[in-house]
Amino acid sequence: MVKCSNEKMRLMAMKDIRYEIACLVALRGHPNICQLMDHFDQGNVVFLAMEYAEHGDLLHFD
């Protein structure tokens, strides 16, 4: 069994969110991707300001 500290898990999560931000930036302008308008972080919280999806999510899309 491998034990991870909370700090290590937090750093892994921050790496994942930064990768997601990089992907969204790379896909900027694609007509089928909700656009990332802005992003910022406050301490341990990361905020993503995304384009409004007028028709809701894909789960309920008809």
The string of pLDDT tens digits covering residues 17-57 is: 999 999 999 999 998 888 999 999 887 788 999 988 877 77
1 domain-assigned: no
Query: Do the Cβ atoms of 50 and 37 come closer than 8 Å?
Result: yes
**Both tokens of residue 40?**
């910022």
As for how many domains the chain has, the answer is 1
CATH number at residue 25: 3.30.200.20
Domain carrying residue 17: 6-60
User: Model pTM?
Assistant: 0.72
pLDDT number for residue 62: 57
Say if residue 49 is exposed, middle or buried (CB neighbours under 10 Å; 0-12, 13-18, 19+).
Answer: exposed
